[in-house]
């Protein structure tokens, strides 16, 4: 009969508690059965580049590595058997010890704070605490990692750039307001609801919030609530146990569990089925999920960011979205304006995409001809920033020279219609255009600022609609109230 290979074991590690401070270990901890010969446990810990503590159930220090010795200024011999709070001397120990509240079902817990080292220096740190279990699943101690985040704090951008924040480009008043609130919003753990039309950059804003937050080193899990069938979506979100349904051949964690200590981004939240809205609401209340086929809850520390292009308030009135879930998600609402309302950003985004995409394609950034620029500045971009990027990428691939001309742009941009650019090049033919000042706006070139261009677009739409505002609004792709507001803004009567 073949002899069974014993599992890997760590021997004598508990002896360090009983070793008097300042005395060398006579019986060091060793790891057996990992290799052909035992290896020294302390040597293994010392190879880890971040601070590590092994704690007993009473949170007494059993072992630390050299990185933590350097960080705190205390040696292994000095700290053995002491409470970890006496060595870390952190505000975390006083406010929210990550080891407290951990049970057999808990996932690792991550929290940021400060410690005071032996030289009385205040050092920002990130502590991650996880349970150590025996072969029966019973907690026998804790493993904590302590990461020095001084360099990360120095590199954090605490103020927004005038035209750019983490690859979000803009200088319009609407975008400047968003840039101002993003840093403080990122430091919060409150739920965020991002609204806006398709292509306005909701995904990029969600990732920016995550990467600028304290959860940046945690996972960023994304799921499209409208891309999967209801049954599969439930499994993807909450996970399932083996045998929960046909085809469930093994346990699978859901996106909520995978996003532990990080951020879960629910895009198209308006497409989430009502039954799953109830389960999501339960998680937001209890921070626990029940995988399919399981009666045992699993806790998860996750920040929720949701996004939608739908009118959730209207869906609530129609009974298609839960009012209580909307209240829980709508703690912080961030609305992204459509590109057509971001005055001055189109030209800035054109330059940005021409440079970045040219670099990716290994080309020198070309210039835009006067006519091509006019078309791109006066187009209404129903697909918003995403459509503008696609247009630039198309033009870069089609044009082989140093300049992008109208023939290099997608053909639909030159087709007549409410969004086409051909309309803007036709001479006015109605009595409304008799005023010479109005004609100068209509026929002026692209050297004006966005306010002049938008005023010219409104004038042209009114000319072609014979002065009928409803028809002009349809040509512009706006609501009638938007046209009225902009006419008042520019003094058009």
Count CB-CB contacts under 10 A for residue 457.
23
pLDDT of residue 230: 82
Evaluate if residue 153 carries a pLDDT over 80: no
Say whether 423 sits in a helix, a strand or coil.
helix
Least confident interval from 15-19, 28-32, 35-39? 15-19
CA distance 129 to 199: 40
Phi, psi for residue 442 in degrees, rounded to 5: -70, -35
Question: If we measure between CA atoms, which residue out of 46, 51, 40 comes closest to residue 12?
Answer: 40
pLDDT level of residue 163 (50, 70, 90 thresholds)? low
Residue that is written with structure tokens 């060398």 in the block: 24
Q: Where are the chain's structural domains?
A: 9-152, 164-337
Rounded distance, CA 230 to CA 272, Å?
8
| Coil, helix or strand at residue 137 | coil
Listed in sequence order, the residues at least 6 apart from 289 whose beta carbon sits closer than 8 Å to its beta carbon are 238, 239, 254, 256, 257, 279, 283, 297, 298, 300
Residues 6+ apart with CB under 8 A from 64: 45, 51, 52, 53, 54, 74, 76, 79, 87
**Checking phi first, is residue 7 left (phi over 0); if not, alpha (psi -120 to 50) or beta?**
beta
pLDDT tens string 60-117: 999 999 889 888 888 888 888 898 888 888 877 776 787 777 887 777 888 888 888 8
Mean per-residue pLDDT of the chain: 80
Supply the pLDDT for residue 106.
76
Q: Does domain 9-152 have CATH number 1.10.540.10?
A: no
The confidence score (pLDDT) of residue 429 equals 32
Q: Which residue has the higher pLDDT, 135 or 221?
A: 221
What are the backbone dihedrals phi and psi of residue 153, each rounded to the nearest 5 degrees, phi first? -65, -35
Q: What is the predicted pLDDT for the residue at 8? A: 56
The predicted-structure confidence for 309-359, as pLDDT tens digits, reads as follows 999 999 999 999 999 999 999 999 999 999 999 988 999 999 989 988 988
Between the alpha carbon of residue 485 and those of residues 174, 279, 381, 489, 493, the distances in Å are: 16, 42, 20, 6, 12
Are 191 and 332 spatial neighbours (Cβ–Cβ below 8 Å)?
A: yes
Average pLDDT over residues 409-428: 58
Backbone angles phi, psi at 61, to 5 degrees: -75, 125
Question: 139, 103 in Cβ contact below 8 A?
Answer: yes
Tokens of 213: 């937050």
Q: What is the dihedral angle through the alpha carbons of 425, 371, 391, 411, rounded to the nearest 10 degrees?
A: 50
Q: Which fold has domain 164-337?
A: Rossmann fold (3.40.50)
């Amino acid at each position: 009969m073949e002899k069974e290979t014993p599992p890997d074991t760590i021997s004598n590690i508990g002896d360090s508690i009983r070793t008097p401070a300042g005395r060398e270990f006579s019986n060091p901890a060793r790891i057996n059965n990992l290799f052909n010969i035992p290896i020294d446990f302390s040597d293994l810990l010392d190879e880890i580049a971040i601070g590590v503590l092994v704690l007993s159930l009473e949170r007494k220090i059993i072992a630390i590595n050299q990185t933590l010795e350097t960080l705190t200024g205390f040696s292994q011999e000095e700290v053995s058997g002491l409470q970890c709070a006496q060595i870390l001397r952190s505000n975390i120990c006083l406010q929210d010890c990550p080891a407290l509240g951990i049970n057999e079902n808990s996932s690792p817990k991550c929290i940021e704070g400060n410690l005071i080292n032996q030289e009385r220096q205040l050092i920002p740190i990130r502590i991650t605490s996880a349970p150590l279990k025996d072969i029966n699943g019973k907690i026998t101690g804790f493993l904590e990692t302590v990461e020095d985040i001084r360099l990360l704090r120095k590199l954090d951008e605490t103020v927004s750039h005038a035209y750019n924040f983490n690859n979000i480009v803009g200088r319009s008043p609407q975008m400047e307001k968003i840039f101002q609130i993003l840093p403080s919003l990122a430091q919060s753990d409150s739920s965020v609801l991002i609204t806006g039309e398709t292509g306005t950059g909701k995904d990029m804003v969600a990732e920016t919030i995550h990467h600028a937050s304290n959860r940046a080193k945690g996972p960023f899990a994304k799921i499209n609530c409208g891309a999967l069938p209801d049954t599969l979506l439930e499994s993807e979100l909450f996970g399932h146990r083996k045998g929960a349904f046909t085809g469930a051949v093994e346990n699978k964690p859901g996106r909520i569990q995978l996003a532990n200590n990080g951020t879960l981004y629910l895009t198209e939240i308006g497409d989430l089925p009502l039954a799953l809205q109830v389960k999501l609401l339960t998680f937001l209340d209890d921070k626990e999920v029940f995988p399919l086929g399981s009666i045992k809850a699993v806790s998860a520390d996750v920040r929720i960011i949701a996004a939608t292009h739908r009118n959730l308030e209207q869906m609530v009135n129609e009974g298609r979205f839960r009012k209580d879930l909307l209240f829980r998600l709508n703690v912080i609402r961030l609305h992204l304006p459509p590109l057509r309302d971001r005055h001055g950003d189109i030209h800035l985004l054109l330059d940005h995409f021409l440079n970045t995409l040219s670099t990716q394609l290994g080309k020198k950034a070309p210039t835009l001809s006067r006519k091509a620029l006019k078309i791109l500045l006066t187009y209404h971009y129903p697909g918003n920033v995403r459509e503008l990027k696609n247009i630039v990428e198309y033009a870069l691939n089609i044009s082989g020279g140093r300049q992008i001309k109208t023939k290099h742009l997608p053909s639909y941009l030159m087709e007549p219609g409410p969004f086409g650019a051909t309309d803007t090049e036709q001479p006015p033919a109605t009595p409304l255009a008799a005023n010479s000042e109005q004609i100068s706006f209509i026929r002026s070139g692209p050297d004006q600022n966005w306010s002049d261009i938008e005023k010219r677009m409104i004038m042209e739409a009114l000319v072609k609609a014979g002065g009928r505002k409803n028809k002009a609004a349809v040509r512009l792709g706006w609501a009638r109230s938007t046209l009225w507001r902009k006419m008042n803004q520019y003094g058009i009567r």
